[in-house]
Structure 1
Amino acid sequence: MTTPELLPIATGKRSWAYLSSEIRAQRGLALLTLAISAVSAAMSLIPVYVFGVLVDRVTEGAPTSTIVSVVVVITTAAVIGGIFTALSTYMISKLGERTLATLRERVLRRALHLPIGTLERVGKGDLLSRVGDDVAVMAKSIGEVIPNIVSAILLVSLSVVAMLSLDWRLGLAGMVAIPMYVLALRWYLPKSAPLYAAERVAMGERSQALISSMQGARTVRAYGLEDTHLAEIDKASGKARDIGIDVFRLFTRFGARSNRAECVGLSVILAAGFMLVQDDYVTVGQVTAAALLFHRLFNPIGMLMFSFDDVQSAGASLARLVGVIDIPDGRSPGTGAVPVDGTLQITDLRHSYDTGHEILHGIDLTVGAGETVALVGSTGAGKSTIAAIAAGSIDSTSGTVRIGGATLAELGEKGLRRHIAIVSQEVHVFAGPLIEDLLLAAPDASRADVRAALDTVGATRWVDTLGSGMDTVVGEGGHELTSAQSQQLALARLVLADPAVAVLDEATAEAGSAGARDLEAAAAAATRGRSTLVVAHRLTQAAAADRVVVLEHGKILEQGPHAELVAAGGRYAELWSAWQGR
């Protein structure tokens, strides 16, 4: 089993540029948040400074009433600090959640408009891992990590300033630890960044292995491939586990280096303070305050150092999300062209997939306004490819498709969806009330319009038997529909969308023999009056069409009305004879 291609991943520089632009877009909120956070950090330092003053007062023999004033100052600072800390956390979360919401919306918008060919190449696992796991990592970072990091940075910065204000020599003594922290980070970051990036990729591969096995569960069981697929899942999971263990091992060694810096820094402050007090350069209270300030830095510095674990993970996730956003959008905006009628014209259509092997060789085909044309042929003849290109689902290698004289590029994405719709063999029923599923095709439609569409495709008979009728919850977690019922909903959506051109790509294939006739009747009713291109799974559909086009190896072999082709005794006659004798 080959590993699928992955979606692009943005560089660190590009990820930072995206994040910076989002923060600049909210400059006012960001500056207000920074100011509130600074006040919160400053309030937390006041008790330490006041405690140093108290030590000096006690040493000088000040009265016990001095303690009362100290307690009042500490209490006031604590109350103000608590208020501003709560405000700071709220403001940081607000800023972060806005940024995350914008990021999530952009990723989903781009993901929903990715070319079908791209999704087929990369598989669904990588994309789902990004919009699921990576967004969850970013949400955790914004809700928990970033507020702590901002608070820690401000507290460290203000603490260093406070130590220097007590005595510049005490400040320099405390700053001895900085090179050790820097060295620890320089050792850790180059080693951890590739590991975190590899971990996110491994998680995507694990998701792809799980999803592909679950979606193909019936096929896996039918061919006895359970052990093979379990081995693939185990391999992908084992890879993610091993990388996770390597990350934890590296992080543990990083923690030891950070603890060493803390020990050295506090020792230097105490030793320097002892000598400075002896020479009467500083007071005992000043050294006490400096030592406490540095000791207070253990938590924020540790938070900063250890947060790099989460920051690296969030950075890897951000790069994967920005990578999706940056995928070029090849959709044409259109020129505002309006088709003169429903004629579908395909000219010199050629197409090759990634292998470079051409599977369509100069197809010329016209479906007149209101005409139904059926495509028949053996598997691999190119029927579904023609249907997908005609519907604008994939772009052809060369050739043009026109609707009423306007090319698909001239119609643009919105114009295309107004004038042509495709119903394929694979139909998704969205979770929620049945009527809301149908309104996706025509949001402004009334209940009467929806019921009329259901009646057109013969679905009201079973919809009325549901507990809440059109308001019955269907899809995942709701009433389970049969394959034929799901196809009827798809055809009802087609009726509501009311395009001039309809493309049915084996839209009745899932009905089974029992429901095939009803579903074919539903398809005929839904497409009545429309130009219709049908990929015929059953030759009864071809027999009912105005014209039949026979494909073989990417070329048109013959075409004409059903009766004429049968009488001609060619390839279609052979297929029809085989169909009748089955």
Structure 2
Amino acid sequence: MNKRLRRGARQATKHPHPANNPKSRAHSRTTLPVAEPRDVRRATVRLIRTDAKAFTAVLALNSLAAIAGLASPWLVGRIIDEVRRGGGTSAVDKLALAILMAATAQLLLARWARYVGHRFGERTLARIREEFVDRTLALPASVVERAGTGDLTARGTADVATVGTTLRDAGPELLINSVQVLFLLGAVVALDPLLGACGLLGLAGLWPVLRWYLRRARTGYLAEGTATSDVAEILAATASGARTVEALRLERRRVTASRDALETSRRTRLHTLFLRSVFFPSVEIAYLVPVATVLLVGGALHARGTISLGTVVAAALYLQQMVGPLDEILMRVEQLQSSGASFARVEGLAQAPRATDADSPTPADDRIDVTGVRYAYDRGGEVLGGVDLTVRPGERLAVVGPSGAGKTTLSRLLAGVDAPSAGSVTVGGVPVVALGPEVLRRQVVLVTQEHHVFLGTVRDNLRIAEPSATDEELWAALTAVGADAWVRLLPDGLDTALGDGGCRTDGSQAQQLALARVVLADPHTLILDEATALLDPTTARHTERALAAVLEGRTVIAIAHRLHTAHDADRVAVMENGLLTELGTHDELVAADGAYAALWRSWHGERPASPGTARA
């Protein structure tokens, strides 16, 4: 029992599980759904049907192994009866040899069944991983951002790993032991119906304990998983924003939040440990009841001469032999509660909003219309207070304004990352948020200063945007953004591995790779939200001009923090306090002597900038 409790505690530590506890959820910002038990059951049946032949083979082999295991107790009973009748050693030797053969057959069949079961589990786990990746990539960007990295990371790592352990180990073991228990019970009933009834009556004591445990386990493990996701989210956010935390002196606040999350996680883990500490000792006691009952009743029947001693011993051995499979089943049932909760989280992505191209409408042209757009974040005030803007196909538009004016929010709405609270953002007369991911990628691409270098080669990183691109096209894209020089200096050129274990890239190189991907994607509209902020001024200007040349004829919307971008644009839009206050060419706005003119003069150092307009 202690071994099982320690094993359960280790599993809880290694494989954190999902949660649905309101108390824990209060600290979580996840909006991703968790599948209901019926959905998990349907998904399980679907996975079994996909590999039905292997699953049938597992059942058949387990059944044959269980049948072979039935021989030994019956043969032991025959040996006892043979000895009591005064039979010779020849008969006993033959029965002993039969026991050895039956045990060998059971061993070989069980080993074969486990092998087939593990292969079935690995193939099924591969399907689950592929489905998870497909579903994650189909999630709208806004859903992913609101869910947070902690929840998705926990689902894609710990939860999937827990499901994999169940499919590889717990599932086959549960099948094997369930079949053994059924055959052992059937053997006791076949020996003597009355002894079989006594055995079943003794096992009935397991039901109340099992029911008590199952009614609490799923909620407990779901709560434990939610708490674990919250811890992961807080740690990830603190680590990624470490410089901001330090600059704003938020260390104590982040430490307090981390401690609160860890305390919630500790309480949920102690709760599941309490459930196991009640469940397993009760089970240990319940195991003794059927064996003791059969021995008492069987002894009384034997004393009356209505049953042979060999039959009583065989029945007791069958029930004693049942302890191992039952013990394994109940342990696997405990494991299934945690893995079932994990599977509910993994399968829950199927219920999340998905962006698909199947029913995506086709825009009539590349014209972008922003009409009466308002937007407010969930826990903040209104960021955009009614914006009207039309971006003509092929136009280069610069959006400038002080920090907090709503520029980045507007860019996210234009790219379809978020949907406006009111009003509409359309491309070619179609709402941007209604476009499927592939259609949207061909229409609008948003490039920010936050870039990611994927594990793989330079070629892999670039072909994410266009899988069919040739090496010549890859080099052309790198040349367009000024990245060809340093890529040619890499040990293996395009085949050089990047990321952990490979060549490291700095922020400016990561930005150039991201911009090269944009060139390969070749969208109709490109939104640059400070996309060259990490580049030095000279390289940034060269890259922006190179991009402008490559994207000639495309619509380019640049969130400008360097006003030379606005100077080169066809039109400039000025944002202030969530409103579009000025719109026109650079020369027109400078002549108007308004907010843009003040920004321009401040940028050139002609006079101090007015409050709130120090940064474009």
Q: Same fold (TM over 0.5)?
A: yes
Deviation at 1:72, TM superposition (A): 3.2
Kept after mapping to 1: 8 A contact 2:132/2:156: yes
Q: Deviations over 1:256-276 (max 9, x none)?
A: 211211222211111112111
1:415 to 439, 461, 486: 439
Q: How many pairs are equivalent?
A: 581
1:247 to 251, 262, 272: 272
Deviation at 1:369, TM superposition (A): 2.9
Q: Kindly tell me: are residues 306 and 407 of structure 1, through their superposed partners in 2, closer, same or farther at Cα, counting changes over 3 Å?
A: closer
- Which residue of structure 2 aligns with residue 95 of structure 1? 120
Kept after mapping to 1: 8 A contact 2:355/2:435: no
- Which residue of structure 2 aligns with residue 492 of structure 1? 516
Deviation at 1:356, TM superposition (A): 8.1
1:259 correspondence with 2:284: yes
- Which residue of structure 2 aligns with residue 43 of structure 1? 68
1:447 to 459, 471, 492: 471
1:383 correspondence with 2:407: yes
- Which residue of structure 2 aligns with residue 474 of structure 1? 498
Deviation at 1:26, TM superposition (A): 4.1
Query: Which letter does structure 1 place at the counterpart of 2:46?
Result: S
Query: Which letter does structure 2 place at the counterpart of 1:472?
Result: T
Query: What secondary structure, in the 3-state scheme, does the structure 2 residue paired with 1:175 have?
Result: helix
- Which residue of structure 2 aligns with residue 58 of structure 1? 83
Q: Deviations over 1:236-264 (max 9, x none)?
A: 22332332233223312222211211222
Distance (Å, rounded) in 2 between the aligned partners of 1:16 and 1:411:
33
Q: Kindly tell me: are residues 71 and 525 of structure 1, through their superposed partners in 2, closer, same or farther at Cα, counting changes over 3 Å?
A: farther
- Which residue of structure 1 aligns with residue 17 of structure 2? none
Q: Deviations over 1:156-211 (max 9, x none)?
A: 11111000111112112212222211122123222333221211111111111211
- Which residue of structure 1 aligns with residue 33 of structure 2? 8
Alignment of 1:535-554 (within 5 A): 535-554=559-578
Q: Deviations over 1:294-326 (max 9, x none)?
A: 111111111122222211111111121222221
1:130 correspondence with 2:149: no
Distance (Å, rounded) in 2 between the aligned partners of 1:86 and 1:303:
16
Distance (Å, rounded) in 1 between the aligned partners of 2:82 and 2:585:
108
Distance (Å, rounded) in 1 between the aligned partners of 2:517 and 2:578:
31
Q: Deviations over 1:66-104 (max 9, x none)?
A: 233223322332333223212322333333334333333
Deviation at 1:426, TM superposition (A): 0.9
1:237 to 255, 262, 266: 262
Deviation at 1:110, TM superposition (A): 2.1
Deviation at 1:396, TM superposition (A): 2.6
2:453 to 429, 440, 465: 429
- Which residue of structure 2 aligns with residue 121 of structure 1? 146
1:291 correspondence with 2:311: no
Alignment of 1:33-432 (within 5 A): 33-329=58-354, 331=356, 333-334=358-359, 337=362, 339-340=364-365, 342-355=366-379, 357-404=381-428, 408=432, 412-432=436-456
Q: Superposition RMSD on alpha carbons, in Å?
A: 2.4
Kept after mapping to 1: 8 A contact 2:170/2:335: yes
Kept after mapping to 2: 8 A contact 1:457/1:525: no
Kept after mapping to 2: 8 A contact 1:491/1:522: no
Distance (Å, rounded) in 2 between the aligned partners of 1:2 and 1:374:
41
TM value normalised by structure 2: 0.89
Deviates more, 1:134-143 or 1:22-31: 22-31
Q: Kindly tell me: are residues 240 and 550 of structure 1, through their superposed partners in 2, closer, same or farther at Cα, counting changes over 3 Å?
A: same
Task: List alignment gaps of at least 5 residues for structure 1.
Answer: none
Q: Kindly tell me: are residues 482 and 524 of structure 1, through their superposed partners in 2, closer, same or farther at Cα, counting changes over 3 Å?
A: farther
Kept after mapping to 2: 8 A contact 1:375/1:550: yes
Distance (Å, rounded) in 2 between the aligned partners of 1:487 and 1:525:
18
Deviates more, 1:252-261 or 1:21-30: 21-30
Distance (Å, rounded) in 2 between the aligned partners of 1:258 and 1:290:
21
Deviation at 1:336, TM superposition (A): 5.9
Deviation at 1:428, TM superposition (A): 0.8
Distance (Å, rounded) in 2 between the aligned partners of 1:331 and 1:579:
44
Q: Kindly tell me: are residues 552 and 465 of structure 1, through their superposed partners in 2, closer, same or farther at Cα, counting changes over 3 Å?
A: same
Kept after mapping to 2: 8 A contact 1:89/1:147: yes
Deviates more, 1:94-103 or 1:182-191: 94-103
Deviation at 1:134, TM superposition (A): 0.8
TM value normalised by structure 1: 0.93
Q: Kindly tell me: are residues 210 and 359 of structure 1, through their superposed partners in 2, closer, same or farther at Cα, counting changes over 3 Å?
A: closer
Q: Kindly tell me: are residues 407 and 324 of structure 1, through their superposed partners in 2, closer, same or farther at Cα, counting changes over 3 Å?
A: closer
Q: Which of structure 1's runs of 4+ aligned residues deviate more than 6 A?
A: none
Kept after mapping to 2: 8 A contact 1:337/1:410: no
Distance (Å, rounded) in 1 between the aligned partners of 2:436 and 2:225:
36
Query: Which letter does structure 1 place at the counterpart of 2:394?
Result: G
Kept after mapping to 2: 8 A contact 1:344/1:501: no
Q: Kindly tell me: are residues 277 and 132 of structure 1, through their superposed partners in 2, closer, same or farther at Cα, counting changes over 3 Å?
A: same
Query: Which letter does structure 1 place at the counterpart of 2:513?
Result: L
Query: Which letter does structure 1 place at the counterpart of 2:506?
Result: T
Kept after mapping to 2: 8 A contact 1:494/1:526: no
Task: List alignment gaps of at least 5 residues for structure 2.
Answer: 1-24, 609-616
